[in-house]
Structure 1
Amino acid sequence: MKSLLLYLGLFWIVPISVQGQVQMNKDSLLRLMPTAKEDTNKVLLYINIGQQYEGTDPETAKAYYRQARDLSRKMNYTLGEIRFITNYTYLLNMQGRYDSSIQLNLQSVALARQINHTEYLAKCLFNSGTSYQYAGMYDSAIIQYEEGKKVFALLKNEMLEARSKDILQLLYAELHRYDKAIELGESAIAYFRKTGDKYPLALSLSNTGLSYVSTGKLDMAVSYFKESLALGKEIGDLQIETTNMLNLGDCLIQTNQYSELLPYFKRALELSQIMGAKESEAIANRGLAIYYLWKNELPLAKKHMDQALEITANSDQRVQHRRNLETFSSVLFAMHRVQDAEEALRTSTILGDSLNGELIQQTTLQLEKKYESERKDNQIRLQQASLKQKTTLNYMLIGGALALLLISFLLYLNYRHKQRLQVQRIQELETEKQLMATEAVLKGEEQERSRLAKDLHDGLGGMLSGIKYSLNTMKGNQIMTPENQQAFERSMDMLDSSIKEMRRVAHNMMPEALLKFGLDTALRDFCNDINQSGALKITYQSFGMEGVQWEQSTAITIYRIVQELLNNTMKHAAARTAIVQVGHTPEGTSITVEDDGKGFDPLILKGARGIGWTNIQSRISYLRGRWDVQSEPGKGTSIHIEINS
């Protein structure tokens, strides 16, 4: 008489809390219906409302689910149709319509595969397994469950894992592996106690209690059934309440406590009739018949057995029908209707033999299918082995040919690579040769500049200074007319200007500040000299130049680059202002020279033959740098140079 609690929670794609607030939630959902648009949200609304009716009015719940299905199909909303099936088949299972439930659940599996949704696929596989299990088709149930377990493992979801354990414990219980069933059930119970989720906790308690009944631990089973019953009443779920009433009544029968049966089976009968749960109604009637048989109120006992037989005779609940016939025969024997009792018992025996025969036939067919499948697999393996032998040689020949081609190709690539390396090396040598030549020219140029600067400073500069000294001495010893005095003063001024110009030229040829104080100071002095001359207003900025130890050749080259760029600006750009920025980092040195002059088209540089641009390019190449010229007519010029360390 044990009644397995149908498992619903796993199927709730969109969970709704019905814990003590079913009516309030239902009313609020119903108020949304008149204004709901025909979209996916309305599908979910139909599903949610149906879930509120499941425990109290299954037919109304089914009506809402069908509306969700129709709207989903109209919109081609596959997820909505899957949600319809997962909720609708729960009610079919509860009503004992397992064939219809199996068909729909398999359809949901196909839909989940179609949309390639892992979570829905796992749930639909478990739903199919549950329907197969209720129908007694355990091998098919195992196939669905095992595939579902593999998919669930990919999700890494503790809640779904706990609910799948609760489902699997029922299967292990059907296979009489009660220790494994209890292990799974206790694991699920522990998780739901931790989360405080009352609905799945009630399910797990009831299902685990059945395994304790099967192992003879009735005290443990009763405590679990009572806790589950209390939770079912708290959340207002009639199905949970009905199932636990039946299970507690069964425990009372097993312990011969017949006097306490009435309230349990009477309440279970009332709830079953409200929900339209025919199998539960038949079991409750049979329980009441046993109670009245014990009280020797035989007419009432027969009345309830007639009602139970009427239900099972017109359904596919043949196992329950056989049990009803056995109990009915006991009632008839008590009424001294021996012939009728023996007929009922004989019918029960025939039905039992038929069920056993079908089970044996089903097992035999499964074994035959398994044998035939293995025989075909062996034939396929032999054919594959023969084919493999034939193709192996072909593969070896093809592989050898491909290997030969590959080796030839690699040798060719190696040859081409060596050629490219040789060409690259030649180019590098030519570049290095050019750089060495450039370096020699630049060094020679700087040496000549240095020599000329010294000659000017020491030779011509000394001579001019001597002349100035002599003239000053002569001035003190001669009496000159005012006109001669004025001419003499002009000559002295011109001599001073010549000395200054000579010193400026010598300084530009080899600035002393560059050799004594470094590049940054030399560039700053050079810009200040131009500012003082009034030829151009220059803003000089430097970054990271403090304390940098430059090679003399590098410092001189950078100085000459900036010098040449500013000379070009003063000669050709007609600029009023210019900016010089020099920055140094561990990665290299950057130089930027900008002016507000008349600008030019940078394309003319490609054909330029001027000494200035040629010198700049040669010096940049010598430093292995790169430069970028940005200019437009009337918009000034910006030249940026990057020199790697």
Structure 2
Amino acid sequence: MRTSVSIFFLILNFTGYHAAAQDRHTDSLLEILHTSEHDSTRAHTLWMLSDLWADRDSAKAVDFAKRSFQYTEDKSLLRGLAHFYLAGAYYSYDRLKSQQEYMAADTLLARFTETGALQYRSRAWHNYGALEQQMDNSSAFVNILLTKAIPLAQAAGDGERVAWNYMDIGAVFMNYKDYVKAGQYYQKAIAILHNKQYNNRPVLAECYIHQAKAYVLQGRPDAADAPLQESFRILTSAGDSSYLPVYYLVRGMSHTRMHQWEEAQAALNTGLSIARKQRLAYDAISLQYELYEVYKHQHRFDKAKLALEEVYNGYREYPIAQNGRTILYELAQTEAALGNHPAAFSRLMEYTQLSDSFFTQKTGKEIADLETKYRIAENERKLLRLQNRSQLQQLLLYFGGVVVAFLAAFFIYVYRQRKKREAQRLYTMRQEQEIQITRAQLEGEERERRRLARDLHDGLGGMLAGVKLNLSAASHHKNERQQQDLEKVIGQLDDSVHELRRIARNMMPEALLRSGLTRALEDLCRSMDNQHMRIDYELLNLPENMPQQEKVDIYRIVQELLANAVRHSGATDIFLQCSGRGERFYITIEDNGKGMPDPGRHNEEGLGLTNVRSRVSYLQGKMELDSRPGNGTIINIEINVTGDKAL
């Protein structure tokens, strides 16, 4: 069993082995496979072999991954990992099968709450999204990272993986030239890595490099020097050369923007040499493109063309349309600068064919605008020619002008309505995405609350109860003084058990599960009532036929409101009223406390009120807050408890 566990953790770092040692590793792993008596060890060994061959022979990688299924049980954790590694074997040559296997892995691993299972689920969703990005669906990739990969990595406590995912989001924004937004996500990643004390880890170095690149592309090459120096310090300290090509790329870009051509070429050629030695194809492409930029600014178009053609040949392995358009357009410009006009025209036609629907629509609109302007100018010329004709002709022309104006107004109205509908559709899509993210966050919180409540109640609670029994048994054999001391300790232990169970009930109230919402709210109010603060409540017509999740959401809203009042208001009296009427649920809470300085400024509210607003928004409700310093606070909430979510 000890061998199996060690191999399991070895898999997480196995991809760092150098390609030159692959044959030796293959022999040693095959020896383990043939001599081991444990199925789990054989399965882990086969996965390592599959990873080892994934970049050299996909058929072998798939075969090793499939063989591991015979050593795993159906619906087990190991079976989920088997699907994960089979997906990795398919990754480079069969995207559809790879995505199917990643989803099969996630379905099986979702039954387990171990940290390793959460990490693998996060990796599975990340890789699934990366395949979407390879199919030029970057928006799906970003959505998957935000709603799946990042929450799972956070639940696993894997700060490094969270930072990696933030960097991937930053890279997408870089591809679409939103360098400010990209820089924000890189800064998020840096903050996480610093908090996790990864100050000398290569991942932090890469993050600094990307942040420097964002500065360069924003037109701030001077700001890039500090993060570049920090990244080089980390890489030198860690002895990791795999990130050096990207470092020299950004260093070269910085020199290019400052017109330091010789320094730029030196940095880029150094990076290109390292990338070729380490067979880092994508890094080599990026360095070649930046060399093209240097040659273009120096008007050395023959060298620029050679560099750009190498970039275009390598781009076909990483086909993102935005990159393809840029490369083809630059090739057309370079051919034109060399006087190769037929070749320039050919490249321009390829560029036009690759343009997506957005550019097609934009071009169509520009053509339509030109046609409208032409027609208006033509009508004006006709009017000038007909000025000296008869009165009847003038009247007819006037009537025609009115018709044209009416039609123009009509088309403008139709165009504006279409734009409004499109804006509304985009707004609705953003709202739906925000609701999905909110729901995922709330569900994650509830799952974590339930897990912690079970751990506290069943684990630590049981242990404390056992300690109490042992102390009680031991007290019978002690003298009177020792018995008094033990009874005092037992009393303190009783208080600790009661407090622990109170915390567990707050995290996942048993009354809500057993007796319904009304009983749970009554218990909540009674538990928070004390001699310094009285809580009066009125619960009218509370519907109990709601889905369980909606009951939990309402309970959490009331719990958060009462907790805020107890902690921050300084009130002596609190009144809570909850009622149901048809498809609506109403919550009102009043206190006689010190009030809030400026309740209209949402961005200065605490985390508690922010969580309440998130839940109210998800339940399609509204929240009103009335508070002034010294006059207490009144909060009214109205939410929907039926509709699509309740079906």
Q: Do both proteins adopt the same fold according to a TM-score greater than 0.5, normalized to the shorter chain?
A: no
* TM-score normalized with structure 1 length: 0.44
Which structure ranks higher in relative contact order (CA pairs < 8 Å, sequence separation ≥ 6)?
Answer: 1
* TM-score normalized with structure 2 length: 0.44
Q: Considering only CA atoms, is the larger Rg found in Structure 1 or Structure 2? A: 1
